[in-house]
């Protein structure tokens, strides 16, 4: 029932609009017509302002939601990166522990006799004296 009324309202011609204006003039009178039109204009202006305000609030809310989603995405990427770093650190520590395990027997070092030891202060190409 509402759909035909909307369709009829949207299909108003010039004659129908004049008829509506005449009915309004007869109902309110010619002296109150400017006041009614002024009030109607204010009402339409307030409705447009309210609609614009609602649209701004919706856009602001959607921008905040989008920013939150982007932050969540970045946080998940950072969490993945920190997990990878933690895993690599744990693996590196395990490798170091197995390499330097104290349970293994240390390899014997061969002692170098006195004449074979090199003096770190002597240049490598220096001539050695025989005593």
Q: What's the N-to-C CA distance of the chain in angstroms?
A: 126
Q: What residue spans of the chain are helical by DSSP H? A: 2-10, 14-28, 33-99
Q: How far is CA 49 from the centre of its chain?
A: 30
SS3 128: coil
Residue extents of the structural domains in the chain: 52-98
63 close to 56: Cβ distance less than 8 angstroms: no
Match 């004449």 to its residue by tokens.
Answer: 115
pLDDT string in tens for the chain (131-residue length): 455 555 555 677 788 878 887 888 888 777 887 888 888 889 999 999 999 999 999 999 888 888 888 888 888 899 999 999 999 999 988 888 888 876 555 555 555 555 556 677 777 777 777 75
**Residues whose CB is less than 8 angstroms from the CB of residue 68 and which lie 6 or more positions away in sequence, other chains included:** none
pTM score above 0.85: no
Q: What's the pLDDT at 1?
A: 47
Report CA torsion sign: 101, 105, 107, 110: positive
């Amino acid at each position: 029932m509402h759909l035909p009324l909307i369709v009829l309202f949207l299909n108003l011609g010039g004659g129908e609009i004049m008829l509506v204006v005449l009915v309004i003039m007869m109902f309110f009178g010619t002296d109150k017509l400017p006041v009614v039109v002024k009030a109607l204009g204010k009402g339409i202006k307030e409705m447009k302002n309210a609609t614009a305000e609602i649209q701004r609030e919706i856009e602001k809310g959607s921008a905040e939601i989008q920013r939150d989603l982007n932050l969540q995405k970045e946080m998940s990427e950072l969490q993945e990166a920190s997990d990878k770093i933690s895993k690599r650190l744990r693996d590196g520590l395990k490798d170091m522990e197995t390499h330097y395990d104290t349970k293994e027997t240390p390899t014997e070092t061969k002692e170098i006799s006195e004449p074979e030891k090199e003096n770190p202060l002597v240049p490598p190409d220096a001539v050695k004296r025989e005593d």
